[in-house]
Structure 1
């Protein structure tokens, strides 16, 4: 049988027609799958509408505990320790004797001064009787009265000097470690022990000047310490500093804490939380705020379902929410979840809508 012959030009025309049919079919399928557009697919995100809500945030700071009264008990004179009346850690009352110093010389001098004063007083009485009968001059009586008064003053001076030989607690409190022993020679300024009044303590802490209007006397605060995990200590603001530090731009606040169990000790670090009064604020979830360097911004949804990058100013933060001071307005819709895959102008679709659409498509298929 003779073979059919096909001309080369005809063969090329058939191949070209077949290639065009294949490309047309591929283009049709791509258009159907791309949703009618050739750009990047819409990002699936979660959005929310921002609005004004009640906000109750807190100011946080660090402070060091100080005793209500604190002093290093020292000696006034140089003398030998005769007796120590306390042990380390004792709780003492105001005026309680702590250390007695040797005072033999002072006691002997006091006895002599009292004897001199008694003799001067007897002499004054005799001269008063003589003066009443006008047997001595008035000047002689006045001179004897001055002698008697001088002797009494000498007695009081020696008694005061002898009183310095007993070191007493200036106020009620808890004593620290005992630093002297009987027989030791102490001099003025030698520390006998520390004394702290721990019935109440206070904490001084800095607060940024931006919060000056939010701090007032009597305001309640809460303090926590690593020494007492899970325990909060309630206090009140007792003083607000009259000056703002020009370097740190902060002012000092003092808070008082009742301390009946002596759990708070001087020198402890306390984390302070100062509760501010409830106010109305424009709030957004913290995860909606994107931080790049020192700048913060959010993605605001536009009417055509794209997003725009909007710089915002952040105020306080509390309980997963951030206060917005400027940048967006109440009623704006912003992206909460999915910000990591967005750029300015990106198309978006709500996660709930995407899930619903996917389910319907599967059902129809």
Structure 2
């Protein structure tokens, strides 16, 4: 009698185990469809001002006045520094007096020439003297103008490097001036990607100074030459910078987005990576799964492009792939298409 009980208990255990194998595995699935997708390239670039110059004087002289402060915004043509010009003003007055005298004498001789009282050669000589005196006046006015350093364009000045009374020379740095209303970022792209580059492509930049911000720009120029050493082409993107957060010299992480195209995109968590091979679990009509090798493309923001292996309309397992193998039956408690925010947690809870 005891032996019969033992046999019955053993049979009950086998039945329970077999029933466990037949129990569907709780997962979350998703039907994949084609959608717009952008390939992207990542690179490091350096920010440059739209216009940038180091201000110096054209002549050597004593600084008479400094008319700006460090970090000040200035407009084109605004006086920044004036040099002493007493000697030049005196020379200008002398040149003007010489010109006036030569001009009056030329006019008198012109009247006499009209009356044929002097030779034509005499008036030609006087005209030459008058023109030379006039050129001297222009030269002195230009010399005086060189003693006022003006902003060549509107922008933001750097730190002031000079003071009144100091001797400045053409090599003396007065300040830097940058137009940073818009910024250039130059970065290099491998030669193999040259054919996919286009002027106007979208560019997104980020910097460690503002890690939470994304700066949007676009490709403005693609260099005409390939660097023979690096086999890369330099690309210049332009970014609007009205808030002046980007500064010249910043290191910028650049992501270049190429024109949109249709692609099959799946969540990265649906992909199982084994060595160099990748596969997903596709759901068959009888709710069993099969392992499908796939070729992957660009990964971005938790998604990955599937280039080969799947077709639009295929239903794949998104969450719970770690418990699967080909031929197992699944229980899709909540589809990722129906409840994108709650489906994954539900499947995970069921798995636990």
**How far apart in 2 are the matches of 1:143 and 1:280?**
82
Change (3 A) 1:306 1:116: closer
1:132 equivalenced with 2:109 (yes/no): no
Q: What is the CA–CA distance in structure 2 between the aligned matches of 1:35 and 1:288, rounded to whole Å? A: 28
Q: Which residue of 2 aligns with 1:349?
A: 329
| Equivalent of residue 51 in structure 1, options 23, 29, 32 | 32
CA distance in 2, matches of 1:87, 1:110: 31
Tell me if structure 2 keeps the 8 A contact 1:65–1:268: yes
Which residue number in structure 2 is paired with residue 35 of structure 1?
Answer: 18
2:174 is paired with a residue whose SS is strand
Which structure 2 segments of 5+ residues have no match? 334-352
Does the aligned pair in 2 maintain the 1:45–1:336 contact within 8 Å?
A: no
Structure whose CA Rg is larger: 1
Q: Does the C-alpha gap of structure 1 residues 214 and 108 become closer, same or farther in structure 2, counting only changes over 3 Å?
A: closer
3-state secondary structure, aligned to 2:318: strand
Equivalences for 1:1-365 in 2 at 5 Å? 28-29=11-12, 31-35=14-18, 44=25, 46=27, 48=29, 50-57=31-38, 59=40, 61=42, 63-206=45-188, 210=193, 213=196, 215-217=198-200, 223-228=205-210, 230-231=212-213, 233-240=215-222, 247=230, 252-259=235-242, 261-271=243-253, 279-300=261-282, 305=288, 307-308=290-291, 310=293, 312-341=294-323, 346-352=326-332
Q: Which runs of 5+ in 1 are unaligned?
A: 1-17, 354-365
Is the Cα contact below 8 Å between 2:47 and 2:184 reproduced in 1? yes
The 8 Å contact of residues 203 and 237 in structure 2, kept in 1 or not, is answered as no
| Deviation at residue 53 of structure 1 after TM alignment | 3.1
Aligned equivalents of 2:234 and 2:95: distance in 1? 58
Residue 115 of structure 1: CA displacement? 2.0
2:70 match: secondary structure: coil
Q: Residues 314-347 of structure 1, C-alpha deviation per residue, up to 9 Å, x if partnerless? A: 22334433210112333445443343455xx654
In the TM superposition, residue 179 of structure 1 has moved relative to its aligned partner by 0.6
- Determine helix, strand or coil for the equivalent of 1:336: strand
Deviation at 1:232, TM superposition (A): 5.0
Q: How many residues align structurally?
A: 328
Q: Is the 8 A contact 1:110 1:159 kept in 2?
A: yes
Offset of residue 307 of structure 1: 3.8
In the TM superposition, residue 93 of structure 1 has moved relative to its aligned partner by 1.8
CA pair 301-262 structure 1, distance change in 2 beyond 3 A? closer
Structure 1 residues 295 and 187, CA gap change in structure 2 (3 angstroms) = farther
In the alignment, the residues of structure 2 paired with residue 90 and residue 352 of structure 1 have an alpha-carbon distance, to the nearest angstrom, of 64
C-alpha displacement of 1:271: 4.9
Q: Match of 2:338?
A: none
* SS state at 2:91 partner: helix
Quote how far apart the aligned CAs of 1:66 are: 2.6
Distance 1:332 1:90, change over 3 A: closer
Q: Please report the TM-score for the alignment, with normalisation by the length of structure 2.
A: 0.75
Which position in structure 1 is the counterpart of 2:348? none
Alpha-carbon distance in structure 2 between the residues aligned to 1:206 and 1:45: 47
- Distance in 2 of aligned mates of 1:71 and 1:314: 47
CA distance, structure 2, for counterparts of residue 107 and residue 295 of structure 1: 83
Corresponding residue SS for 1:125: helix
- Alpha-carbon offset, residue 128 of structure 1: 1.7
